[in-house]
A and B are shown apart, each in its own frame.
Chain A
Amino acid sequence: MSDLTAFREEARAWVEGNAPEFLRGKASDPNAWAAGGRKASFIYPESRDWLLAAADRGFSVPTWPEQYGGAALSRDEALVLQEEFARLALPMPLTGFGYSMIGPTLLDHGTEAQKAEHLPKIARGEIRWCQGYSEPNAGSDLASLATSAVRDGDFYVINGQKIWTSGADQADWIFMLVRTNPDVKKQRGITFILVDMESPGVEVRPIRLISGASPFCETFFHNVRAPVHQVISEVNSGWTVAKALLGHERTSIGGMGRGGARTSLPDLARDYVGVDDAGRIDDPALRERVTQCEMDAMSYGLTVKRHGDGLEAGHKPGPESSMFKYYGTELNMRREELMLSIRGPQALGWEGEGFEPEELNQTRTWLRSRANSIEGGTSEIQLNIIAKRVLGLPD
C-alpha cells in the first residue's frame, strides 16, 4: 500500500509537471485524443506535446516493458496513473489500435524481433494501426474469411477485401487475417499477418454511416506483397491469435459501460426535465430509468473491479471479456437512448441552427452507439460464447 502511495506522489508530480495546461479538463473532447502515426494531424498542438512527454516517461503505454517504450507498471500502478490523469480530466496521451490491440497481442505472441520492430514505434505514436478482420461475407462468421495469401519466396501475396477497417485511411500498418489454406476446417487455414499500408496494391475507401462521416473504411488488396517474417505466431494458427486479440477488443469496447468523466445523467435530466418541489427529477418514469441506469453502471463497474481484483490475486482469466462486451455495450446503448428521451425533441438536430452543439453531438453519438452491439462480435455472438465456453451448453 505504501508503495502505491509513493507511486501516486511520483505520478501526481509528473502529471502536474508535464500535462499541458490547455488539455486539462479535456478528457472527453475527442479532438484532444492522439492516435499518432505518420499522417497524424493533431487538432490541438498540445496533444503532440502530451504524447511525446508521456512517451519519454513510458506513460503512453504504462504497463509495457521498458525496453519496448513502456514504464513496466503493475496493474495497480497503472490504475493510479489513470486516476491521476482523471484528476485533471486529462485525455489519455495515446489511443488507438496499436496501444489497445496489436501491442498487447505482440507482447503475448510476437517474436523478439517483431516486438523490437513494432512496439517502440507504437509507444512513441510514430505508427498508427488498423485492423483487417471483417469481410463483406465474413461478419459474425469471421472464420469464413476469404482474403487469400499465397506464398511466393519470402513474401505472401495478398488478394481480397476487408471492411469496417476503422481508421484505415489514417493508418500506417494493418494487422489482418488472411486465408493461407482453403482446404482444411475454416479456423485451421487462417494466418495473422502485419502489412504496411504503403505497400503497392492497397486501396482504402471511407464508409458513410447513419451517423454521418465515420472512421470506417473498406480496404482492398490487389497483389499486395508482405514479407513472411511479418506473420505472427505460426502460419495457419492465426485464429488463436485473433481470438486473443478479440478479447482485448471486447474489454476495450465493453469499457464504455463504466461511465467515467461523461455527462451526468441525473444532471442532464434535472436540466431538461426540471425538478419538482422536493428537488427531484420532475418525471417519475424518467427518474426511475435514470436510477436503473445509474445502478446498472455501478454494478457493472463493481464487476469489472472484481474481475480485475481476481486477476491480481492470481485467478485465471476466462471468457469474461464476452460478458463485459455484452453488458458494457448494451448498457451504453441504453444510456444513449435514455439521453435522447431526456433531451426530447432537442435531440433531433442534424446540423445548423436551432440546436446546441452538444445536442447535435447527441444525435450522432446515439446513432453511432447502435453499432456497439454489432462491432467486435455481436451481442448474440457474445451470448453464444458464454453459453458454450462458460456454461458448457452443447452445440
Chain B
Amino acid sequence: MATLVLTAPQDMLARTAAELISKHGGVDRQRKLRDDGDELAYSPEVWAEMADLGWLGIPFAESHGGLGMGMAETVLITEAMGRGLAPEPFVSAVVFGGGLIADAGTAEQRAAWLPQLIDGEKRLAPALLEAGSRYGLDRVETRAQSNGGGWSLSGEKVQVVGGVGADGFLIAARTEGGLTLFLVPAAADGLEVVAQKRVDSRNSAIVRLNGVQVGAGDVLGDVGGGLEPLGRVVDRATVAVCGEMLGVMTEAFERTIDYLKSRSQFGVLIGTFQALKHRAAKMFIEIELCRSTVMAAARALDAGDSDAELQVSNAKARCSDALILVTNEALQMHGGIGMTDEHDIGLFMKRARALEFAFGDAAFHRQRFARLRGF
C-alpha cells in the first residue's frame, strides 16, 4: 500500500489551494453569494483562477490536456475548498463530469469537451439524481428512445449541482438493455433548467427533458453499458467529496476549539470543562481517522488497487458520520450564538448535510462495504 504522507509537491499544492480560497474571502464569500441571491451561486473569477493554476486539469491525463495527477492531489483541492465552504462545482463539473468523458468518451468527445473544461471555458454538470433515486445509480426513470439514428430523451433530473449556467449535461437514461449515458448541450431543444434552492445554497438545478433530440454521436460509452463507467467515476467523485468533508469538519472543529478557549461562563473559560474537553478529544480522534481513510482511498484509486472500492466506502461512511458529529457538536458547543444566522458555524452544518448525502450516506456505504466483503 502507498505511503500515507504528503510529498513535498503535494504539501505545496495544499498550501497554495488554502491560500487561494482564503484570498477570496473564505466563508464570507459563501455567505455573500447566498445573501445576494447570486444566480450562479459561485464566483466565475475564482473558477477562472482555478483554471489558470491548472487545477481543473488535475485529475486528467496529460494526453487529455490535464496535469496527469490523481485523486491524492484532487482531495487536497477539495479539502481546501471545504475549509472555506467554497461553492465552486469542482467535484461535479471536473471530477465527475470531466471524469466521465475521460473514462467513457470517444476521442472526438474528449476533444470537444475536455480542453475547454480544463481551461474553464465550458462547464459540465452531471445529472445523476432523480426524485426517487436516493443512492442507487441504476434507479433511473428518465428514458431514451431510439428514433431515426438518434435518441429522444424524456424525464426529470433533480439537484443537478452546477446545473445553472452549465454548457452541457451528462444524462443517465434508461434504454433497452440497461442504462445509457448521453452528452447533452444545454441549448438543446426541449431541455429546461430551473434553479433549485437547497439548504447549502449551492448552485443546484432541476433539468427537465421534454423529448430532447440527440444524435448517435452524443451517446457516451456503450448503449446499455452506462452503469459501469458511472460506478467507476462515482467512486472517484465520492473520494473527492470526502476530501471536501475533511476540510469542512477540520475547520468547524478548529473554530469550535477556538471558541472553547475564548468563551467564559461561571467566571472561567468553558474549555476548562471536562464534559467538553472529552468530547473535543474524541472528535479530534475521529477526524484523524477520517484523514487516514481519505488518503488511503485516494491512493488506492490512483494505484488501481483491488480493494479500492472497499477503501472508498470505508472513507465515505467514516467521513459522513464524523462530519455530522463534528458539525452538530460544533453548534452545541457554541450554544445560542451558534443558532443565529449571523454566526458562521451553521453554514458548516448545512454544507455537511449536503455532503453526507452526496453519493451515499454512512449507512449506504456500510452496506456496500459489507456486500463487497461478503458479510
A interface list, Cβ under 8 A from B: 266, 269, 279-281, 287-288, 290-292, 294-295, 298-300, 302-303, 305-306, 309-310, 312-313, 315, 323, 326-327, 380, 382-384, 386-387, 390-395
Contacts and interface: CB of A to CB of B under 8 A. Distances in A.
A236 B95 CA distance: 59
Interface of B: 1, 3-5, 257, 260-261, 269, 271-272, 274, 277-278, 280-282, 284-285, 288-293, 295-296, 314, 317-318, 366-367, 369-370, 373-375
Nearest to B367: A291
A101 B95 CA distance: 48
A98 B257 CA distance: 40
Contact of B366 (A269, A288, A386, A391): A288
From A288, A295, A326, A382, name the one whose CB has the most chain B CB atoms within 10 angstroms.
A295
A290 B375 contact: yes
A174 to B, nearest CB: 32
Contact of A393 (B272, B282, B373): B272
A393 B284 contact: no
Contact of B5 (A294, A295, A299, A309): A309
B253 to A, nearest CB: 9
A128 to B, nearest CB: 34
8 contacts: A287-B370, A295-B369, A303-B291, A303-B292, A326-B281, A327-B289, A392-B257, A394-B261
B122 to A, nearest CB: 38
B4 A299 contact: no
Nearest to A308: B4
A95 to B, nearest CB: 27
B7 to A, nearest CB: 9
A292 B293 CA distance: 14
Contacts of B260: 393
A374 to B, nearest CB: 16
Contact of B4 (A269, A302, A383, A391): A302
A221 B356 CA distance: 59
The 3 closest A-B pairs by CB, nearest first: A306-B4, A387-B277, A386-B281
Given A300-B289, A323-B285, A327-B285, A295 B314 contact: yes
Contacts, number: 111
Contacts of B257: 391-393
B315 to A, nearest CB: 8
Contacts of B318: 295, 299
A294 B367 CA distance: 12
A292 B366 CA distance: 7
A335 to B, nearest CB: 15
B284 A391 contact: yes
B372 to A, nearest CB: 10
Contacts of B4: 302, 305-306, 309-310
Contacts of B373: 266, 291, 294
Given A298-B314, A393-B260, A266 B375 contact: yes
A280 B374 CA distance: 7
B155 to A, nearest CB: 31
A373 to B, nearest CB: 13
A115 B95 CA distance: 56
Contacts of B280: 387, 391, 393
A333 to B, nearest CB: 15
Nearest to B294: A302
B363 to A, nearest CB: 8
A386 B284 contact: yes
Contacts of A300: 289
From B281, B295, B296, name the one whose CB has the most chain A CB atoms within 10 angstroms.
B281
B97 to A, nearest CB: 30
Contacts of B1: 305
B252 to A, nearest CB: 14
Contacts of A294: 369, 373, 375
A390 B282 CA distance: 12
Contact of A313 (B5, B289, B292, B375): B5
A290 B3 CA distance: 28
Nearest to A299: B289
A290 B269 CA distance: 41
Given A280-B375, A295-B314, A323-B285, A302 B366 contact: no
Contacts of A288: 366, 370
A288 to B, nearest CB: 7
Contact of A299 (B278, B284, B314): B314
Nearest to B278: A383
Nearest to B366: A291
A5 to B, nearest CB: 16
A300 B223 CA distance: 42
Contacts of B367: 291
Given A280-B370, A391-B284, 7 more contacts: A299-B289, A299-B314, A315-B5, A384-B281, A390-B284, A393-B272, A394-B272
Given A303-B289, A323-B285, A383 B369 contact: no
B278 to A, nearest CB: 4
Contact of B281 (A292, A299, A305, A383): A383
B5 A310 contact: yes
B313 to A, nearest CB: 8
Nearest to B374: A279
A306 B318 CA distance: 16
A291 B281 contact: no
B281 A391 contact: yes
Contacts of B314: 295, 298-299
Contact of B277 (A281, A287, A302, A384): A384
A21 to B, nearest CB: 32
A306 B281 contact: no
A384 B275 CA distance: 11
B293 A299 contact: yes
A266 B318 CA distance: 20
Contacts of A298: 293, 314
A295 B317 contact: yes
